[in-house]
Structure 1
């Protein structure tokens, strides 16, 4: 609900997978001259300090982007976006999805970012002040349903909840089905954790039952961040996956398996 703060987990291996695929999609979509919209349901604060006590305490960034950055060439869109964030905010800065996306969007593209947590929302507004982004201080699914289909109609929606509420697993397939009916050309990207109890499987079964177009399901596994930690992997389920994304997903799978 309102207790989750991503600073404890920013830059972890789940972020590496999610942000690599996100940046690859936005980079490809940006190669066409038509404008696009970027929407995000659970934006967080947008900018993270990897030297903050919360990040140092868990060590997830050190075991994440700290070792994985060299997986990406300097011209990879994720590496380029991360460099732009560091150039603007310092070497220990890590961009959340909104700030990384902003580095790859162009003049004329539109951003709609939702964040319900009061402090995270304040920080998000500060992080995005230099960008043309509409910040919605409301439930992310409500925002997405209200905005879709967006203008410009071409675009991408990232759904990245904390899954603090177990009902999210039942709610999300219904939300995606409704959003796709409204916005059948939109790329809808869902991130989900892979937990030891395999909580995500029923949600994915419901999504696959809908026969959504051009779907990509990509999952990676990694050791638990610490003893007792339940997350052992990260997944992305993408509707209307852009051309070439399967190749990037395969490349990531090999990197995570080494």
Structure 2
């Protein structure tokens, strides 16, 4: 949806869940001295100012990274990225997933970021100027089909749509099946919201039926405000790397401190 802007939600509890696990996976992958490919279908702007009126208005960042940043284990790759971004851009700066990836990956890795929202694309381009990444003003699903299988084949794709319409849920099983056939060694990660109406369930049932051995990890939390429908965050990961299930449980423990 071209109306969606993540600044209202940046740094919320779902972002903490998603970005903590993303950082762990990327940090795990770069331990091996082999190049990789990172693809992102819905990149957003990459760098957020949590003191902006949009972020302050919802209060989601204060309830998310504002509460959990200090509880992250020392040395965790997500915490390292947070600290670097704050040192570079100020205490209210928050890294979106493109910046998490750019700071953890190496010059030898290929990074492709797709974003079709004009303002978000412009901000993403600016945020990525100092990094060897490719930013595409394009529909993320279409660009992913074009770029897979990538070279190098080792790597990861993050799919993170807004889920503002029912079509996003309906499209995921078919999209993942297509990408998995073309890129059977790729780590394919889908973030999804858990809403009060549980509309994610049919999508997850279809995804689990066609992806044996995938990892499904969910965390629950109180709504950000009265009437807010999101009560949790989920990640569905095809070809999860060794140790990710254990790391997911550690992240669950972090959320249990809320």
Fold conserved (TM > 0.5)? yes
User: In the alignment, does 2:135 pair up with 1:135?
Assistant: yes
Going from structure 1 to structure 2, the CA distance change for 1:27 and 1:213 (only over 3 Å counts) comes to: farther
SS in 2 for 1:61: helix
Provide the residue aligned with 2:250 in structure 1.
251
Task: Give the match for residue 84 of structure 2.
Answer: 84
- Aligned partner of 1:218 in structure 2 is 217
Cα distance in 1 for residues equivalent to 2:20 and 2:71: 10
Deviation at 1:213, TM superposition (A): 4.6
Structure 1 residue ranges, 4+ long, deviating more than 6 angstroms after superposition: none
* Alignment partners' CA distance in 1, 2:112 and 2:101: 11
Q: How many residues align?
A: 257
Contact 2:72–2:254, Cα closer than 8 Å, also in 1:
no
The answer for the alignment partner of 2:179 in structure 1 is: 179
Partner residue in 1 for 2:67: 67
Structure 2: segments with no counterpart, 5+ residues: none
State the secondary structure of the residue aligned to 1:193.
Answer: strand
Local SS of the residue matching 2:63: coil
The structural deviation recorded for 1:79 is: 0.4
Shift of 1:84: 1.7
Shift of 1:251: 1.0
Report what 1:233 is aligned to: 232
Q: Secondary structure at the match of 1:62?
A: helix
User: What runs of 5+ residues in structure 1 fail to find an aligned partner?
Assistant: none
Q: 1:1-258 counterparts in 2 under 5 A?
A: 1-210=1-210, 212-258=211-257
SS of equivalent residue, structure 1 residue 130? coil
Distance 2:223 2:122 in 1: 31
Aligned partners of 2:191 and 2:235 also within 8 Å: yes
Rounded to whole Å, the distance in 1 between the matches of 2:71 and 2:87 is 20
C-alpha separation in 1, matches of 2:71 and 2:148:
35
In 2, the alpha carbon distance for the partners of 1:257 and 1:128 equals 34
Distance 1:23 1:213 in 2: 24
3-state SS, counterpart of residue 141 of structure 1 = helix
Superposition RMSD in Å: 0.9
1:68-123 deviation digits (Å, cap 9, x = unpaired): 01221231000011112222212110000000111100121011000010000000
> For the residues of structure 1 that align with 2:139 and 2:81, how far apart are their CA atoms?
27
Q: Deviations over 1:178-217 (max 9, x none)?
A: 000000000000000000000000000010110x253110
CA distance in 2, matches of 1:69, 1:164: 28
